[in-house]
Amino acid sequence: MKKSERYRLLINYFLEHRPTAETELVYSDPYELIVAVILSAQCTDKRVNMITPGFFQKYPNPFDLAKAAQEEVFELIRSCSYPNNKARNLIGMARTLTEKFNGIMPSDLKDLQTLPGVGRKSANVIAAVIFNKPAMAVDTHVFRVSARIGLTTGAKTPLQTEMQLVRHIPENLIPLAHHWLILHGRYVCIARKPKCSECGLTSFCKYYQQKEKERIYGSLSN
């Protein structure tokens, strides 16, 4: 099967079965989303959503967070991974956001990446979710699912995966496709034991087709 056909089938499937998809991080404005995104690095969205209500009660905007003491921020986020680094980055992000951008979230990817704690992946999340830009954030789910299905070939880094995905997915669907792949990886195509029996992509999934070949050849040789 040609890669273009695989992309076409995937897009058609999700447009029919998941026409709307969005982040599972709970937020009400760009500031709250970027805090949640920074906290979510190597941490589950579920855990982040447990932390943020208390966090936003104490620091409802970047101006308040910019004046915070790192020890106080640490106490609020200590249940997430790498709380020391994240506390420092959150305060640095708030200070840069208020001093350089007057507290208004920039939409430009390069500007977003000047904020402490915000790399390319996080910047792409903000650009796609808040500004609906054709930015493809590649986390571990997107990286794994894209390779398994056969959407990418030989991609060794998140950037290589991103470049291949945006080359084949229509611009207007890229923000949506990002969530399709994340949610599919989180709930169906899980890392250790993908739930192929529950998956609607098996007819064109490279991983599944290879496993089926191995199973058939194995049964014939016995």
Contact 114, 126 (CB under 8 A): no
CB 40 within 8 A of CB 27: no
Give residue 208's identity as a one-letter amino acid code.
Y
DSSP 203: T
Of the listed 121, 193, 206, 211, which one is catalytic?
121
**Is 121:158 a contact under the CB 8 Å cutoff?**
yes
Alpha-helical segments (H) within the chain = 3-17, 30-39, 45-58, 62-66, 70-77, 83-101, 109-112, 120-131, 140-149, 158-168, 174-187, 206-221
- The single-letter DSSP state of residue 198 is G
- 195 noted as active-site residue: no
Catalytic residue among 45, 139, 156, 213: 139
Q: Is 65 exposed, middle or buried (0-12, 13-18, 19+ CB in 10 A)?
A: buried
Q: Classify 53 as helix, strand or coil.
A: helix
CA distance 88 to 116: 8
Q: Is 29 a catalytic residue?
A: no
Catalytic residues: 121, 139
